[in-house]
């Protein structure tokens, strides 16, 4: 989402004459967009600001803007600790950035951290999305009302708020006109999307089915979803919607019901398994990926073993896994942490199973022909980059006019993260 937000900040500031600079040594304004989901983010920001400060030690100082969730959570502290920072702006206040930049005064610090999501969405609607990549992100929903005890999102992105249905479709049309062949719908809880208008409720399933109608669009994905919001209408899309990819990122966090309860996840392992079996029944080729947290306060060996059991059962083909990171203001921040060395050991073990699944899955594609959406030519190389239906990176020979097309690639070798192959040339008629 930060990548999408950064592109939109560029689109917004274009209206007052700013353009993206490729020369970081001579910028008028410098924006760092930040993430607060795990610790270390704040220190990384100060480190980066220190680096920029060095560059400009003998030059005119750029306007230094810290945007995103670290700005939201640490606003005044950032300004106090680092005088080089001029503006802190939270993720729901971007619509105020142009005014701040236009009225900027060297000796005045600006702190905009209100949750004004509707006003932001209004400005996004009025600002053309200039993204012209083959695969583009499109935010449909922001914020979260679920309050998992470990998570800072409800405090930094604010309450759940969905963009109007027609606004999303209008932005998708812009992306398609710009050349997008794949759209990835985004939200912190993307499948909680709900927009009510004229007595109708529009859900993510309505968006997926509307987007399917655009013939130039080849693929649709969405991320990140929550098991509680995997409603029947969404599950049904996997049998009716031909452009929806057979790959779902559905975080579970732990394979132990005790841990899910302590985390306030509001679902059980059985609910997750139920969603999995429903989807596999619809399409046995559907694959899952997930997020896992190890070392959450109260996690015992037996809970961790339940997580490993689940990984062996579902065979996720790609996942993100983290050691619990205490976040200020969350309920879990008040709990007694378990030893870091135990958490680390568990993470290593968990990842060994996850990576093994990934390697085995990628290997199973060797000597097969797979559909790849070609995204771009690799820098300084004679190869091209694309992704298969499961969002795995594929590197292969190819040609410039393959970009934006779905081509057949015969996979010759693979490793944990990448497939390598040769494009299958169509015989001339
Ligand atoms: N809304 C999604 C869900 O509930 O499944 C997840 C969105 S969250 C922005 C992305 C991931 O970051 C989570 O699934 C979780 O695994 C991880 N995460 C969030 N807070 C964390 C924390 N305090 N420590 C470690 N990992 C965390
Ligand atoms: Fe965070 Fe996801 Fe839980 Fe919301 S549902 S609090 S975004 S982990």
pLDDT digits (tens, 9 = 90+) for 167-191: 999 999 999 999 999 999 999 999 9
* Residue 427, pLDDT score: 55
Please indicate, yes or no, whether residues 195 and 291 belong to a single structural domain of this protein: yes
- 211 shares its domain with 261: yes
CA 412 / ligand 1 centre spacing (Å)? 35
Dist. CA 251 → ligand 2 center (Å): 10
Element (H, E) at 30: strand 29-34
Q: Establish whether residue 147 lines the binding site of ligand 1, counting it when its CB lies within 6 angstroms of any ligand atom.
A: no
Q: Which atom of ligand 2 is nearest to the CA of 188?
A: 7
Mutate to test the pocket of ligand 2, among 188, 224, 225, 262 (most ligand atoms within 8 A of CB): 188
Give the pLDDT confidence score for residue 9 in this predicted structure.
Answer: 95
Question: Which residue matches tokens 């100060």?
Answer: 46
Which residues make beta-bridge pairs with 249? Answer: 289
* Pair 218, 373: CB distance under 8 Å: yes
The neighbouring-strand residues paired with 103 are none
Looking at the fold, whether 124 and 241 belong to one and the same domain comes out as yes
Q: Domain boundary at 363, 397, 412, which?
A: 363
Element (H, E) at 97: helix 97-102
- 386 belongs to a structural domain: yes
Q: Give the pLDDT confidence score for residue 104 in this predicted structure.
A: 87
Give a yes or no: residue 71 inside a domain: yes
Our answer on whether the CB atom of 37 is closer than 6 Å to any ligand 1 atom is: yes
Residues 6+ apart with CB under 8 A from 58: none
Residue 267 lies in a domain: yes
The pLDDT value given to residue 426: 64
> Do 354 and 261 share a domain, yes or no?
yes
Give the number of the atom of ligand 2 that is nearest the alpha carbon of residue 157: 7
Residues 260 and 304 sit within 8 Å (Cβ to Cβ): no
Residue at 428 is within a domain: no
The residue range of the domain holding 323 is 118-363
Among the three residues 114, 129, 155, which one is the final residue of a domain in this structure? 114
Contact 227, 269 (CB under 8 A): no
CATH number (domain holding residue 356): 3.80.30.20
Residue 146 Cα to ligand 1 middle (Å): 12
CATH code (residue 31): 3.40.50.12160
Q: What pLDDT was estimated at residue 371?
A: 97
Of 259, 282, 358, 257, the residue nearest 314 (C-alpha): 358
CA dihedral of 162, 1, 207, 166, whole degrees rounded to 10: 60
Burial (0-12, 13-18, 19+ Cβ within 10 Å), 415: exposed
Those residues of the chain that have pLDDT short of 70 are 426-429
Mutate to test the pocket of ligand 2, among 141, 142, 144, 149 (most ligand atoms within 8 A of CB): 144
Cβ proximity of 237 and 221 under 8 Å:
no
Query: Residue 255: CB within 6 Å of ligand 1?
Result: no
Does 226 sit in the ligand 1 pocket, CB within 6 Å?
Answer: yes
Sign of CA dihedral 396, 402, 403, 404: negative
Nearest atom, ligand 1, residue 320 CA: 16
Residue 429 has a pLDDT of: 47
């Amino acid at each position: 989402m930060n990548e999408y937000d950064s592109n939109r900040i560029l689109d917004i500031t274009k209206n007052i004459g700013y353009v993206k600079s490729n020369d970081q040594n001579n910028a008028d304004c410098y924006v760092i967009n930040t993430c607060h989901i795990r610790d270390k983010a704040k220190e990384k920001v100060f480190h980066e600001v220190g680096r920029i400060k060095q560059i400009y030690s003998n030059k005119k100082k750029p306007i230094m803007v810290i945007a995103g969730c670290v700005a939201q959570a640490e606003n005044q502290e950032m300004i106090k600790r680092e005088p080089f920072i001029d503006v802190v702006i939270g993720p729901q206040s971007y619509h105020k950035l142009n005014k701040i930049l236009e009225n900027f005064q060297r000796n005045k610090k600006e702190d905009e951290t209100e949750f004004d999501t509707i006003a932001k969405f209004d400005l996004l609607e009025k600002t053309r999305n200039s993204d012209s990549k083959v695969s583009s992100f499109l935010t449909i929903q922001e914020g979260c009302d679920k309050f998992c005890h470990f998570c800072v999102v409800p405090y930094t992105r604010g309450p759940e708020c969905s963009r109007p249905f027609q606004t999303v479709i209008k932005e998708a049309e812009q992306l398609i006109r710009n050349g997008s062949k794949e759209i990835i719908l985004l939200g912190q809880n993307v499948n909680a999307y709900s927009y009510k208008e004229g007595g109708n409720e529009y859900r993510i399933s309505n968006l997926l089915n509307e987007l399917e109608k655009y013939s130039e669009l080849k693929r649709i994905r969405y991320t990140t979803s929550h098991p509680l919001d995997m409603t029947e209408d969404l599950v049904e899309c996997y049998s009716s919607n031909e452009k929806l990819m057979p790959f779902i990122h559905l975080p579970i966090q732990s394979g132990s019901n005790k841990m899910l309860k302590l985390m306030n996840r509001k679902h059980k392992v059985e609910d997750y398994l139920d969603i999995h079996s429903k989807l596999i029944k619809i399409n046995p080729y559907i694959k899952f990926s997930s997020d896992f947290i190890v070392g959450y306060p109260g996690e015992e060996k037996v809970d961790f073993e339940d997580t490993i059991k689940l990984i062996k059962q579902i065979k996720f083909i790609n996942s993100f896994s983290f050691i619990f990171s205490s976040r200020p203001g969350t309920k879990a921040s008040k709990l007694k942490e378990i030893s870091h060395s135990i958490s680390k050991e568990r993470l290593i073990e968990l990842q060994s199973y996850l990576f093994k699944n990934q390697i085995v899955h990628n290997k199973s594609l060797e000597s097969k022909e797979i559909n790849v959406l070609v995204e771009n030519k690799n820098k300084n190389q004679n190869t091209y980059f694309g992704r298969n239906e499961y969002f795995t990176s594929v590197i292969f020979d190819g040609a410039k006019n393959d970009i934006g097309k779905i081509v057949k690639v015969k996979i010759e070798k693979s490793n944990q993260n990448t497939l390598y192959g040769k494009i299958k040339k169509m015989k001339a008629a």
